[in-house]
């Protein structure tokens, strides 16, 4: 005689629904684990003088498939507050013609608001630099030295299609750009 056991049926239904979700999640993890980011160029933008920020000896180097290491000095010659803004633009890049293509991402935020929204990143940078333990606004002018700070780029590449990209990070005082960095990256599987 067949009898329906509600407790066993409930477990089976959960298994039927959860199993495919777990499989999809594991497949996505495996796909993203094989992503690679290649740093082709990293340089201060030459059109700005160093009256606000001097990038001194700051360098990026590849550590692993998805990690870049940052080492060197950055001299802030002015205090940075919310009157200064940070603008980040990411462009598709055509390597053959050496031209920027369409913009694929853009954000601009007041400096202090941006740093406060990235508290865990700032805390990690403190461990590999002489940044102040506690972030204060305005952020004090000083020469800050980074020693082997690891930038985990998984967040950059996990949803980005393969291809070449150019990142422009610009610091503005009011509406006037005063400093910037250019990065040329290739994302591949």
Paired tokens of 106: 């853009």
Distance (Å) of CA 107 to CA 4, 81, 100, 103, 168: 57, 17, 17, 11, 11
CB atoms within 10 A of CB 11: 11
Among 161, 149, 168, 125, CA closest to 37: 161
C-alpha distances (whole Å) from 33 to each of 63, 84, 91, 151, 159 are 15, 36, 24, 16, 12
Does the domain at 36-188 match CATH 2.70.220.10? Answer given as yes
What are the strands of the beta sheet with 36-44, ordered from one edge? 36-44, 176-188, 163-173, 84-94, 99-110
pTM of the predicted structure, to 2 decimals: 0.74
Q: What is the pLDDT along the chain (189 residues), one digit of tens a residue?
A: 444 555 554 545 444 455 444 444 433 334 445 567 788 888 888 898 889 999 878 888 878 766 778 899 999 999 999 999 999 998 999 989 999 999 988 889 999 999 998 888 888 889 999 999 999 999 999 999 999 888 756 555 566 788 999 989 999 999 999 999 998 988 887
Q: How far apart are CA 65 and CA 188, in angstroms?
A: 10
What residues pair up with 33 in beta bridges, in sequence order? none
């Amino acid at each position: 005689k067949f009898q329906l056991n509600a407790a066993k049926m409930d477990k089976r239904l959960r298994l039927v629904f959860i199993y495919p979700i777990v499989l999809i999640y594991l497949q996505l993890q495996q796909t993203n684990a094989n992503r690679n980011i290649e740093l082709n160029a990293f340089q201060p933008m030459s059109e700005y003088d160093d009256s606000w920020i001097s990038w001194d000896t700051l360098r990026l180097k590849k550590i692993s498939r998805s990690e870049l290491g940052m080492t060197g000095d950055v001299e802030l010659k002015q205090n940075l507050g919310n009157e200064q803004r940070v603008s980040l633009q990411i462009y598709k890049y055509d390597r053959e013609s050496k031209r920027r293509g369409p913009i694929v991402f853009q954000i601009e935020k007041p400096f202090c608001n941006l740093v406060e929204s990235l508290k865990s990143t700032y805390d990690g940078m403190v461990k590999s630099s002489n940044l102040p333990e506690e972030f204060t606004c305005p952020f004090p002018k000083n020469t800050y030295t980074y020693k082997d700070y690891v930038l985990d780029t998984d967040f950059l590449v996990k949803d980005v299609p393969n291809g070449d990209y150019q990142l422009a990070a610009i610091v503005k005082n009011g509406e006037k750009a005063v400093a910037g960095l250019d990065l040329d990256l290739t994302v591949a599987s």
